[in-house]
Structure 1
Amino acid sequence: MKTGFRLLSVSARAALSLGALAVVAAPIAGTLAHAQTLPEPMEAVSGVSALNLPANPTIFGKVDPHLRRATAIVNGEIITGTDVDQRLALIVSANGGKVPPEEMERLRLQVLRNLIDETLQIQEAKAATIDIDEEEVTQTFDRVAQQNFGQNPAALEKYLTSIGSSAASLKRQIKGELAWQRLLRRNVQPFINVSDGEVREMMDRLKAAKGTEEYRIGEIYLAATQETKPQVQANAQKIMEQLKGGGSFVAYARQYSQSSSASVGGDLGWIRLAQLPPELANPAAQMAPGQLVGPVELASGYSLLYLIDKRQVLMADPRDAVLSLKQISIAFPKGTAEKDAAAKAGEFAKVVKEIKGCGGADAAAVSLGATVVANDQIRVRDLPSALQDTILKLSVGETTPPFGSIEDGVRVLMLCGRDDPKVESGPNFEQLQSQMEDDRVNKRAQTYLRDLRRDAVIEYN
């Protein structure tokens, strides 16, 4: 399993990904249908009923909602305001700098909580005599620079400095992930056991579900009581506006979601709609990949949904087809009037429609003053969502309707060939067993971290 914000997953089998900067949803490997973990009512989660709390408590002392404690001492180790600022800069950069002032303070508090967790993880690893060599951290940092930026470490350091962060901040995050991963490998993974019978049972379930639709959904869940619903709904709407404006769903899920899926950027994995409550299943059924919906009201709060992908269990996905395409495009001179552009686009569409297959595309382009670009190795799913269904309905030699704008020009895609995907056979026994083990390790890791928080001595400044 790969995570969104952290650099490494808690699983020993995870691969490195630069989530802190890219903050993109990394695909969960395999075809295991993970059950959704939805937030339970507050009483079930925290044992509120056992505390015998009054319905309308009287608060003694003044509570200042504008007071923010920016730093902390965790078991004697200081987290400075600079630490918070530099880590916050990564999130702001990942969202294109489009974080409004009213969201910044809430993000700052969440970053502080993340740094506290990171500190606890490093401390626990050190107590278990697990030390991460600085050379290993540097090697990982260098690999991140090369794999994710295609440039040298010095260039990455310069970039981090330019956004208000630092190489030291990112290296500390790397160190925390490596330490936690190694600790789990020693203290958790050896005690995780998935029997052969459990794996066979899961394989039987997958085979029985063959052909049924599964959805890979991201969720941001915000809990609310009857008294707090108006405020929580307003907060959910603000987050939705930020997401529509280009904000990273993974980053916002990690910072704000109160579901257990927050640690993986809100990714619920592959699920069937029957696993969702009706309030979520109904809008999810109408969504296309890449679409956002919400806030959706639930009995216990609000959810924002993002459809990452959908598929049919153990069936070939048409969107995995590999296409051979030709793009034919024309550009408009700067300052072209909309009326003139529309006329030229109409003429372009007429000529393109008369092209007899891909062999005639180049000659037709010359007569139009158009440009032709060929690509023989593009998957349907890599195209914009709006074009995928259109392309799948084309026969070889046909084109999409023209699309574009005055600024970008007008273009069409012509289908020159298509290699359909093979039927999905599903994970083999070892792959499925590995996925199930990873899932259990991650759940145990969440409990482990919760216990560390409970036992920690934390002073806020």
Structure 2
Amino acid sequence: MKIKLSECLRPLVLGALFLGTAAAHAAVQPLDKVVAIVDNDVIMQSQLDQRVHEVQQTIAKRGQGVPPASVLDQQVLERLIVENLQLQIGERSGIRITDEELNQAIGTIAQRNNMTPDQFRQALARDGLSYDDAREQVRREMIISRVRQRRVAERIQVTDQEVKNFLASDLGKMQLSEEYRLANILIPTSDSASSDAVQAAAKQAEDVYKQAKQGADFAQLAIARSGSDTALDGGDMGWRKAGQLPPPFDRMLSEMPIGDVTPPVRTPGGFIILKLLDKRGGEAVMVDEVHVRHILIKPSEIRTEAQTKELADKIHDRIASGEDFATLAKTYSEDPGSALNGGDLNWIDPNSLVPEFREVMAETPQGKLSKPFRTQYGWHVLEVLGRRATDSTTQAREQQAMNALRNRKYDEELQSWLRQIRDEAYVEIKLPGATNQAESADQAQ
């Protein structure tokens, strides 16, 4: 049974009524107040004010107009509620961030902004932000990230058959190489929403879509209207591999110009509109491979360096005269990995070879025999059978496909999980004029 903190706090409020008359006549001081009760914790006005200030600073830096306070307060409060729920899960799960980890994270943030830690402190101060508050926010975000990895990642399963199907599809081949930078707007609907509530959400999504198509600032629309976890970031989702995106977004975006938006699409969490901010890739990363075979002759206690070179020269001349390379390799080659295969190394990445072998192989035309040459392993004769460019090895492509499928499922599972913990939590909002998103959805049903 959920414990309402409002009931626990009530005796403290009543006790204040019985304070001495001296306190009653003292100057009235503005006190912090509770703006939301979230399960067994509270969100204070000071926390909300601080986060609103940070969001305002971020929006101003992007050169965008700051939305009305009533809109911003409600969006920020909803973000704080969902964060608080995740932090409580982290607390119950025993997740801790050490000072060393936190210092390292702060250092990384400073480095990414081309700053030293001291310069980072000064930059925060210029923006009116406390270093201690920023440090605490980083700690909270690290805890939330670990909670999500534990709770969401464990819900995701990708089978070998899914990977094979993905790799075999034309769409999968395309998606492994192209990335999109996206922003989104989510008009949420609950799992149990009535048809009227769904229609109302669809109408709202269509209205947002029309405004976006007519040139309205997408980031401002996201801040004011979106129920997504990225709303306060202007809907910015960062870069996404095409393979991460569920149908029909994958096909829509492949045909869209940069700057365009998708029509609203119904998903389990509601109606989603995406804006294509940028794209990159779309071209395979080509790796040069060479099909080569060789014969290796090693110096030994019973064969001097000169005798070894002499034998390599004779083998070269015999091959040049028409004798079979593979037969001579099986007879003479001292490379145990290729001798039984007629000296065939199959298709190989030149970068995996020693420099001397790589250089001779690069200079030898396809279908031609090299002169004998020396490496650290002995004397070689090689023949180049073919050259090709390939995008990656099969193993690398399978790993790319696995990652793409997991990321696609992660985004879907994350939104579903966040909605679930929000719906299951006891939340009492005390901010004047604010409404609970879940309550609004219930009222619409």
> More helix by proportion, 1 or 2?
2
Asked which structure has the greater CA Rg, the reply is 2
TM-score under structure 2 normalisation?
0.48
